[in-house]
Each structure stands twice: as structure tokens, then as C-alpha cells.
């Protein structure tokens, strides 16, 4: 595994350099280093196009060098490294990078907070989450640039999951908050470096993964080592962000700040259609994993447990209570709006 990790790090460095290579730069060129949560194959979709676009437009004025998962620092140390200025910018969720804020628990997959990917930008842009995130990160010297949605959270496993009982004792790679929630159903959350997950499934260290939708399973190779995909999910969309060290961000001229924002937003748009189309297409046309489902009536107990989990989180602080109330209000509004916003 150590050898494999060393190989992937070397390969990732080469892969990162190729698409982002630039001509000789002027001495005055602003140079940033950004690390993403994603490994090389996934990064080609979730961040590389945006950084290539930024670098092409910014030219000699500014260039961002992109690094993949765990390449400079482990994902769990991303926040501290950015806060210190060791790296200048990060693409991640709050939960994975262990940011010391009141909103960290809501990053990644907060159970059943969203049903569709469009829920996330609406929550941030129309229901007030942008302002809360900006204020919380400003307190710790980090600029929250932009929030967006990724894929839903499903299980892909070596053995079929057709009831909640089948989850008992399953060792699953997942996000911290998702793992905390799923533990009540017998799931054993396991934390590993991202690049070790595929081998861990092959060696039996892991029974499955609850880290993504089916698009990522195929893109990063997990569909090659797991046989089953559970159609039930615990979240309709991962909440992820772009962040920057506040001092480095404040040094930028206003037009480069705007360009950075625009390229991040373009990245969010790309993912909206890439994931939405990919999830459907691979369920219909994919050949590597068999689809399984837990009956709706049984799965309803998981949804009911999420409501209790929300209340537990809300009791921890005023900010958390405020965010939970926004999630509750939003989902109530969607239910009242009816089709196509919510079914049933």
C-alpha cells in the first residue's frame, strides 16, 4: 500500500503538471498553490477545468498550481495548512478538512439535508447559508469563496444491501458526520487516505464505501472492486466549497478576485450536469454493479432518525441551531411546493 501511495503521488504530480503547464512567467506573476480533496481521476472533472480556465484567462498576472488529494498535506490537515499559508487555497467540504468552525458538521453529507443537487445553491444563495459560512470562516482567517453541490451519497459494497440489517457490522469508508449518523445502524465508519480506499476494499479492510454516487464509483475505479450499488441515499448532494487564505485573497486585485469567483461558479455548474446525467446514465447503462434497494417503509426509519440527529446537532450551539432551522424551513417549503420539488 505504501508503494502504491508513492506511485500515485508521483503519477498525480505528473498529471497535475501536464494540463496546467504554462510558459515562462513574469517575475511579478502571482502564484498560488491549491489542493483538492479529489484524487487525479475525479479531479479531472470536479476542479481541473476551472483551474485551467482561470490560468488561461489570468495569464502572466496569476497562476494556480493544483495538487490532488493528500499530495501536499493529508486531507484532514487541509484547513490548518491553508490557515497557516502553507497552501493558498482549498477545494473541499468542511467536514473532511476538519475546519474549526460551527458549520463544519454540515459540510459533505449532512443526512437528508438535500434531496437534489439544486437544493444546495438555493440554500446558500436564497436561504442565507452564504452569509453564515462567510462570517464563520472570516473568524478563523479564511475566505469562503463559493459553495456548490456534488453527487448524492450512496453505498457501494461487496455484498448486497437489501435491508437495514445488512448494514450491521459493515466497515465503510465515509465522511465524519455521515459516519457518526450511520453508526446507529451498525455501520462501522473507517477513515483512510483517499488513495488507499480501492486497495482496502480488495484486501478486506473495507466492506464498502458511502462516499459518493455511482458516477464517482465508475470514474475513480471503485465500481471495479465492489459488486453492488444501493439506490437509497442519505443525502441528495454533497456540499463542497472553494476556500482561500484570507491574507492571500485580500492581496489580489479586485478583477482577479472576481475571476476566481466566476471560475469557481463555472466549476459548480459543470458538476451540476455531469453528476445529474451521470447518475442516471450509469444506473441505466452501467454494467459493473448490480442495483439493490431497501424498501421505502424500512428506509423511512432512517429518515426519521435524521430528524432526531438534526435536533441533536442544533442543541450544540446557536449557529448550528440557526443552520438546522434553515434546513427545516427549506425542506418544509419544498414539500409544500409539491411536484417537481418534492414527491410524496
CATH (domain of 295): 3.40.190.170
Examine residue 161 and state whether it is found in any structural domain, yes or no.
yes
| Sign (positive or negative) of CA dihedral 221, 225, 229, 235 | negative
Domain that holds residue 255: 2-149+239-280
Do 46 and 184 belong to one domain?
no
Tell me the CA distances in angstroms from 275 to 90, 118, 195, 255, 264, one per residue in order. Answer: 21, 12, 21, 30, 16
Residue located via cell numbers 459493515: 170
Structure confidence at residue 3 (pLDDT):
38
Q: Give the residues across from 143 on adjacent strands.
A: 244
Task: Yes or no: say if 237 and 149 are a contact pair by the CB < 8 Å rule.
Answer: yes
Question: Residue 24 has what DSSP assignment?
Answer: P
Do 11 and 113 belong to one domain?
yes
Do 109 and 205 belong to one domain?
no
Q: Between the CA atoms of 177, 181, 182 and 184, what dihedral angle is there, to the nearest 10 degrees?
A: 140
Lookup: cell for 268? 459548480
Angle of the 119-126 helix axis to the 129-138 helix axis, nearest 10: 70
Do 273 and 182 belong to one domain?
no
Do 219 and 331 belong to one domain?
yes
Alpha-carbon span 228 to 260, nearest angstrom: 39
pLDDT tens-place values along the chain, 344 residues long: 333 344 444 444 444 444 454 456 677 999 999 999 999 999 999 999 999 999 999 999 999 999 999 999 999 999 999 999 999 999 999 999 999 999 999 999 999 999 999 999 999 999 999 999 999 999 999 999 999 999 999 999 999 999 999 999 999 999 999 999 999 999 999 999 888 999 999 999 999 999 999 999 999 999 999 999 999 999 999 999 999 999 999 999 999 999 999 999 999 999 999 999 999 999 999 999 999 999 999 999 999 999 999 999 999 999 999 999 999 999 999 999 999 999 86
Examine residue 301 and state whether it is found in any structural domain, yes or no.
yes
Tell me the CA distances in angstroms from 185 to 146, 178, 179, 234, one per residue in order. Answer: 34, 12, 10, 12
pTM above 0.85, yes or no: yes
Examine residue 342 and state whether it is found in any structural domain, yes or no.
no
Structure confidence at residue 343 (pLDDT):
81
Structure confidence at residue 25 (pLDDT):
67
Structure confidence at residue 194 (pLDDT):
87
Do 186 and 158 belong to one domain?
yes
Structure confidence at residue 298 (pLDDT):
97
Structure confidence at residue 342 (pLDDT):
92
Structure confidence at residue 4 (pLDDT):
39
Number of domains into which the chain is organized? 2
Backbone angles phi, psi at 316, to 5 degrees: -80, -25
SS3 (DSSP) at 216: helix
Do 41 and 168 belong to one domain?
no
Lookup: cell for 122? 438555493
Examine residue 16 and state whether it is found in any structural domain, yes or no.
yes
Q: Give the residues across from 156 on adjacent strands.
A: 209, 229
Do 20 and 66 belong to one domain?
yes
SS3 (DSSP) at 328: helix
Examine residue 15 and state whether it is found in any structural domain, yes or no.
yes
SS3 (DSSP) at 71: coil
Examine residue 344 and state whether it is found in any structural domain, yes or no.
no
Q: State the CB neighbour count (10 A cutoff) for residue 210.
A: 25
Task: Yes or no: say if 312 and 305 are a contact pair by the CB < 8 Å rule.
Answer: no
Do 211 and 292 belong to one domain?
yes
Do 210 and 109 belong to one domain?
no
Examine residue 315 and state whether it is found in any structural domain, yes or no.
yes
Examine residue 296 and state whether it is found in any structural domain, yes or no.
yes
Which of 280, 298, 313 corresponds to the end of one domain?
280
Under the phi-then-psi rule, with left for phi > 0, alpha for psi from -120 to 50, and beta for the rest, what region is 112?
left
Strand pairing category for 228-235 and 153-157: antiparallel
Tell me the CA distances in angstroms from 169 to 172, 182, 231, 295, one per residue in order. Answer: 9, 11, 20, 20
Do 29 and 54 belong to one domain?
yes
Do 309 and 186 belong to one domain?
yes
Alpha-carbon span 22 to 30, nearest angstrom: 13
Structure confidence at residue 99 (pLDDT):
95
Amino acid at each position: 500500500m505504501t508503494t502504491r501511495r508513492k506511485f500515485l503521488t508521483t503519477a498525480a504530480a505528473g498529471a497535475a503538471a501536464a494540463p496546467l503547464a504554462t510558459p515562462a512567467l513574469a517575475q511579478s506573476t502571482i502564484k498560488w498553490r491549491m489542493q483538492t480533496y479529489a484524487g487525479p481521476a475525479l479531479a479531472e472533472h470536479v476542479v481541473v477545468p476551472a483551474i485551467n480556465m482561470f490560468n488561461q484567462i489570468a495569464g502572466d498576472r496569476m497562476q494556480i498550481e493544483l495538487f490532488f488529494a493528500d499530495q501536499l498535506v493529508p486531507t484532514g490537515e487541509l484547513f490548518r495548512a491553508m490557515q497557516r499559508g502553507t497552501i493558498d487555497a482549498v477545494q473541499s467540504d468542511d467536514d473532511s478538512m476538519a475546519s474549526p468552525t460551527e458549520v463544519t458538521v454540515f459540510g459533505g453529507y449532512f443526512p437528508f439535508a438535500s434531496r437534489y443537487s439544486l437544493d444546495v445553491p438555493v440554500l446558500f444563495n436564497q436561504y442565507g447559508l452564504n452569509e453564515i459560512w462567510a462570517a464563520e470562516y472570516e473568524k478563523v482567517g479564511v475566505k469562503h469563496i463559493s459553495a456548490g453541490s456534488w453527487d448524492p451519497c450512496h453505498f457501494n459494497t461487496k455484498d448486497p444491501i437489501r435491508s437495514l440489517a445488512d448494514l450491521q457490522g459493515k466497515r465503510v469508508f465515509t465522511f465524519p458526520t455521515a459516519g457518526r449518523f450511520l453508526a446507529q445502524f451498525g455501520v462501522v465508519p473507517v477513515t483512510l487516505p483517499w488513495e488507499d480506499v480501492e486497495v482496502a476494499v480488495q484486501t478486506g479492510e473495507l466492506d464498502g464505501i458511502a462516499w459518493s454516487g455511482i458516477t464517482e464509483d465508475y470514474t475513480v475505479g471503485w465500481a471495479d472492486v465492489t459488486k453492488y450499488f444501493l439506490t437509497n441515499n442519505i443525502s441528495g448532494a454533497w456540499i463542497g466549497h472553494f476556500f482561500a487564505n484570507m491574507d492571500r485573497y485580500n492581496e489580489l486585485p479586485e478583477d482577479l478576485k472576481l475571476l476566481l469567483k466566476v471560475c469557481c461558479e463555472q466549476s459548480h455548474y459543470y458538476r451540476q450536469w455531469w453528476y445529474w446525467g451521470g447518475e442516471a446514465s450509469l444506473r441505466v447503462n452501467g454494467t459493473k454493479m448490480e442495483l439493490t434497494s431497501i424498501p421505502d417503509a424500512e428506509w423511512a426509519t432512517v429518515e426519521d432518525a435524521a430528524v432526531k440527529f438534526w435536533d441533536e446537532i442544533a442543541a450544540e450551539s446557536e449557529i448550528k441551531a440557526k443552520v438546522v432551522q434553515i434546513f427545516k424551513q427549506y425542506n418544509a417549503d419544498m414539500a409544500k411546493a409539491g411536484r417537481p420539488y418534492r414527491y410524496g
